[in-house]
Structure 1
């Protein structure tokens, strides 16, 4: 049975690409499902001097790119949308926003619940949070602050940002978005582990040879060259997405449902990251930057818009991560992510050793959890669909077979409305992962890379293969 939720969404950056490409389509899906119905409103804010009617037109246009529904349904949905031109530094604008929200509270009977969504540049996060608090926008309902990445660009900036936000909102009311945590496979990993005791028993350093996480993209930076010049793939993909994926695979208690227990487990895992010396960074991490392809048809990274001609920013990285924990000590976690690879694929490959035969699992078995581009769940055992593999250590009760997948943002918005913080990133986790990533970044910044060093359409620089070969291993996806 669908339970209707009530809230006012105040979206800072409501005229922007993220809002129109991700948030409004996700809210529309919730509207069609009945989770949002009569008792919600959306206030979009930005500097542009739009009217309510024009704002609603842009919302409907964004929906038409994704849905084929009767336009009347979209128009009914759009009646819940309102717009206010807003300067994030102007206190008077927050007072006007407070008055509009109070009016809509009465009109839509939203229970004084507020979701403040930061779809704006990170440099404004602290300013907006402080004004929400100082100008009295908070109500006697719930007040939840949603933050998009990047959360800082190193440990120092992340600490400063967190300090500013935590003055206005307690940690329990802060929802840091990592959209990979909204993907169905990532959310189902604890259930897969809990429902398959032999598989779960094998997930430790006694039976696992190595774990591999690959987030590959076939596209280049496209129109994000300016952003990438300040980030690079290490900050953009490894510090957040890859670390959180590892957290789902390597946690100690997959049966836990309480958010505090789950996050404590992940924090303990990230606190056990093996500290890297400068010399270990040189041996355990590889960076690359894409060149044109063999035919010269593709732009090299340095030829992209808003990219320096001599840029030293990496568009590919591969690394060897270790944890100093009882469960995972000695097991390498190989990670890689890159632009302009042969195909888009996000996957987790768990490679077992020969000892796993003691549990009735074929020696050297590889279990692959496919995150995307497949919809929903997809599991391979030695490259074959788990149902057809002849192996029975992974199976699902019939009622838990693969449901139609929710889009990641849709799933995360449901969690925000429900107050479920399981699939969001907590500050203690970020602090540990930033400390680890900073040791790599600092070493790289002290050296001059030989870029570009891999062709578009390839698997990255040769050193990424050698990283595993050194240990007698190889990439499962190649």
Structure 2
């Protein structure tokens, strides 16, 4: 009878049948030395080449090849805004630092400032030094700064856009960008039409054969269904749909994309990812900050339009969708659209929704003012800073499973997560006292700030008695992978320059989302002032009552 092989024998490299033990040891030593030499060589190359940083944005089809765009120009409208300084400009530098920007890449800023090219370069430099996620390297900055230009003007200034067109033509000639332009509209939505019309008037929306032109639109995509359709009609009259990139930065987050990997790359969860085993799903985006300096934007928009209509409904679609045929834009879009078209509102909107407005309270041990006391907010504003809704997805997989979505400002903590809460076991052979502190199994996907996944399940407490209580099994990105996760805008900007659209919502998704939100917004508009909740708490009492009617409660974050 043959003796079973040990694990060491099973994993050892095969040797010739006539090889001696000494030869095997010698071969193993040689292999180890070769591996060490290769590793040392790689480390030396990385030290010598500032662009050879760990690259989490490499081409997934070949982990050796980075995803680098063609030579191009990124025209950034709204370069003086907070988004540009904190996110966009640092993301451009981080892409360059990872070696992912093409040769000749150029950045053109457009704003109402009397700046020279050097002034905008200094603004970019300061934003990079303060907010970039990768180490600052002079040689990388020099390479990027050589392609930085600035065009002063207002959006209704025909002369400024004529200068912009001439500037881009000159950049094509001197930097070899070949007429490839991406126009990023980091501006309030009211300026979208005038900028797009100017791009049309100056023929910047259409390039020569072999080149491409793309436009990037920041949310919100309208403020209701009609305005979203008007905006889309205006945009598509100038740019074809495949050249329109609607930015939802949540879709660029690693943990959001990991929802798809978790579901469709594993057999562990798919059999129980349905109404037979799932009790309900909670999707939360909680913020502990107020509106800051965004009064002009936020008032009249509110929490539901600002977060639920885009971020949270996109998360719902990813959690509830069927597996796509391929991981491409069309396949993903079709499955998400099926989910959004199947979403059902509560029959009683008063019982199935909640909204609130924060009042004075305490945050982090400091007193803070209420929403109506914030600078720039009218004293009679009825804009909600907290919103919660109960939705269902009317299809075979999810029929009868409630999806609870909530978001709010000035809450007790900052957290974005998706919690899949499973049904209780149908039969427990233990006595009631054995499991009196046992909760429901749950799988929690943490989107921010501590990205990862937690599984909650019951386990016996050590000892002679049978006592079962909840324990947690945790996966954290920062501990499991050597590579740091790219910032969401870093990934999305690269996708724009490459022309890869899987992480960008299609217009049909936008319209379906507004079809869900519009009836809720219309109902709230007829209900007067939102319910108050003290800053530093978890929202209005009506949100707790909404779940209590179903015999459930919000997760403690």
TM-score normalised according to structure 1 size: 0.91
Q: Partner residue of 2:157?
A: 90
Q: Partner residue of 1:380?
A: 454
Q: Partner residue of 1:461?
A: 540
Does residue 239 of the first structure (1) align with residue 309 of the second (2)?
yes
Q: Partner residue of 2:514?
A: 434
Q: Look up the SS of the partner of 2:110 in the other structure.
A: strand
Does residue 368 of the first structure (1) align with residue 432 of the second (2)?
no
**What's the offset of the Cα at 1:15?**
2.7
* Counterpart mapping for 1:464-475 below 5 A: 464-475=543-554
Q: Look up the SS of the partner of 1:65 in the other structure.
A: helix
Q: Of residues 397, 400, 414 in structure 2, which corresponds to 1:330?
A: 400
* Contact preservation (8 Å) 1:191, 1:255: no
* Contact preservation (8 Å) 1:130, 1:167: no
**What's the offset of the Cα at 1:163?**
1.0
**What's the offset of the Cα at 1:39?**
2.1
**What's the offset of the Cα at 1:249?**
0.9
Distance (whole Å) between structure 2 residues aligned to residue 383 and residue 64 of structure 1? 44
Q: Look up the SS of the partner of 1:28 in the other structure.
A: helix
**What's the offset of the Cα at 1:454?**
0.9
Q: Deviations over 1:387-422 (max 9, x none)?
A: xx9999x999xxx95742110000111111222111
Q: Partner residue of 1:302?
A: 372
Q: CA 1:383 to 1:345, structure 2 compared with 1: closer, same or farther past 3 Å?
A: farther
Q: Partner residue of 2:182?
A: 115
Q: Look up the SS of the partner of 1:150 in the other structure.
A: coil
Q: CA 1:383 to 1:17, structure 2 compared with 1: closer, same or farther past 3 Å?
A: farther
Q: Look up the SS of the partner of 1:475 in the other structure.
A: coil
**What's the offset of the Cα at 1:110?**
2.0
Distance (whole Å) between structure 1 residues aligned to residue 543 and residue 257 of structure 2? 29
- More relative contact order in 1 or in 2 (CA 8 Å, sep 6+)? 1
Q: Partner residue of 1:407?
A: 487
* Counterpart mapping for 1:18-417 below 5 A: 18-67=83-132, 69-71=136-138, 73-137=140-204, 138-140=206-208, 141-253=211-323, 256-276=326-346, 280-293=348-361, 297-354=367-424, 364-374=440-450, 377-382=451-456, 403-417=483-497
Distance (whole Å) between structure 2 residues aligned to residue 52 and residue 391 of structure 1? 54
Moved >3 Å (runs of 4+): 70-73, 354-357, 389-392, 400-403
* Contact preservation (8 Å) 1:352, 1:363: no
* Contact preservation (8 Å) 1:3, 1:34: no
Q: CA 1:383 to 1:70, structure 2 compared with 1: closer, same or farther past 3 Å?
A: farther
* Contact preservation (8 Å) 2:281, 2:418: yes
Number of residues paired by the alignment? 462
Distance (whole Å) between structure 2 residues aligned to residue 126 and residue 356 of structure 1? 57
Q: Look up the SS of the partner of 2:394 in the other structure.
A: coil
Distance (whole Å) between structure 2 residues aligned to residue 75 and residue 401 of structure 1? 31
Q: CA 1:144 to 1:356, structure 2 compared with 1: closer, same or farther past 3 Å?
A: farther
Distance (whole Å) between structure 2 residues aligned to residue 381 and residue 29 of structure 1? 33
Q: Partner residue of 2:33?
A: none
* Contact preservation (8 Å) 2:79, 2:111: yes
Distance (whole Å) between structure 1 residues aligned to residue 494 and residue 173 of structure 2? 23
Distance (whole Å) between structure 1 residues aligned to residue 102 and residue 504 of structure 2? 25
* Contact preservation (8 Å) 1:193, 1:254: no
* Superposed CA RMSD: 2.5
Distance (whole Å) between structure 1 residues aligned to residue 260 and residue 439 of structure 2? 24
Q: Look up the SS of the partner of 2:446 in the other structure.
A: strand
Larger radius of gyration: 2
Distance (whole Å) between structure 2 residues aligned to residue 72 and residue 306 of structure 1? 44
Distance (whole Å) between structure 2 residues aligned to residue 27 and residue 59 of structure 1? 10
Distance (whole Å) between structure 2 residues aligned to residue 321 and residue 192 of structure 1? 23
Structure 2: gaps of 5 or more residues: 1-64, 428-437, 459-469
TM-score normalised according to structure 2 size: 0.78
Q: Deviations over 1:222-255 (max 9, x none)?
A: 1112221121001001000100111111110156
Q: Look up the SS of the partner of 1:289 in the other structure.
A: strand
Structure 1: gaps of 5 or more residues: none
